[in-house]
Amino acid sequence: MNTRPLWLRFAIRLSLALTAMVLAMLALFVSFYQYAHIQEAKEYVSTFSQALAKQIQPALLTYNQSELENLVAYLDLQQHVLWLSIYNADGDRIVDRAFTKLSEPERKLYLPNQLETLPQKPQFKQISLMGHYDTKPALYYHMPIRVEGSDVIWGSINLGYTLTSNIFTTGHLFQLFGILALFGLAIGVMIVRFFSNWITTPIKE
């Protein structure tokens, strides 16, 4: 025989339903946020790389190594750029700059010394880099460098861009899930308690 008060049983069921609904809405919101964040990152990386390619073209065409390195140097101010490498028409890496620590397999995969073929069109790829305790989401971007008015590919830009958000870290998500779960339980108890008193008060009188 169930000895729990009727209002408590209703409260538990309603609280669980509210908690599930709130968590489902949170999951949808996080998914939408991640999608919007990735699209925004793609747009930024594409615009940034195209502007950089225009600046690189003269130095690339004249094989001015020092000028290429100077153009890449200012990227220290770009906090979200993880690495940048420039390849010539033969697929040789002539400039590279890593702003984060990459493992040896990651360097070979994303920053090879030699490319078999240059990309014919911009390429986006979502990747995961190994961190100290977990993986870090990132965006891999590789685009050809063409001189305006020509289809000839003179080189390529290879760029890594972090997708790590300062808003939704793993710890923050767990805290938010916990707070919302407690909030749903509390609201459920308050609602059922109110209706239970509203129904039973006239009977007691």
DSSP 81-106: EEEEEEEETTSBEEEEEESS---HHH
Q: How many CB atoms lie within 10 A of CB 155?
A: 25
Residue 75 confidence (pLDDT): 63
Question: Collapsing DSSP states into helix, strand and coil, what is residue 64?
Answer: coil
Please check whether residue 60 is in contact with residue 48, taking contact to mean a CB–CB distance below 8 angstroms. Answer: no
pLDDT band with cut points at 50, 70 and 90 for residue 158: very high
113-135 pLDDT tens trace: 999 899 999 999 988 887 655 57
- 6-61 and 170-204 helices cross at what angle (nearest 10)? 160
Long-range contacts of residues 60-68, Cβ cutoff 8 Å, at least 24 apart? 60/86, 60/88, 60/145, 60/154, 60/155, 61/147, 61/154, 63/88, 65/94, 65/95, 68/94, 68/95
Please check the confidence at residue 141 and state whether its pLDDT lies above 90.
yes
Please check the confidence at residue 53 and state whether its pLDDT lies above 90.
no
Q: How many CB atoms lie within 10 A of CB 118?
A: 18
Q: CA 163, CA 158: separation in Å to the nearest integer?
A: 16
Which residue in 193, 172, 190 sits closest to 182, CA to CA? 190
61-88 pLDDT tens trace: 888 888 887 777 766 556 688 888 899 9
The predicted model scores a pTM of 0.68
What's the mean pLDDT when you consider all of the chain?
A: 77
Residue 134 confidence (pLDDT): 59
**Over pLDDT 90: what percentage of the chain?**
13
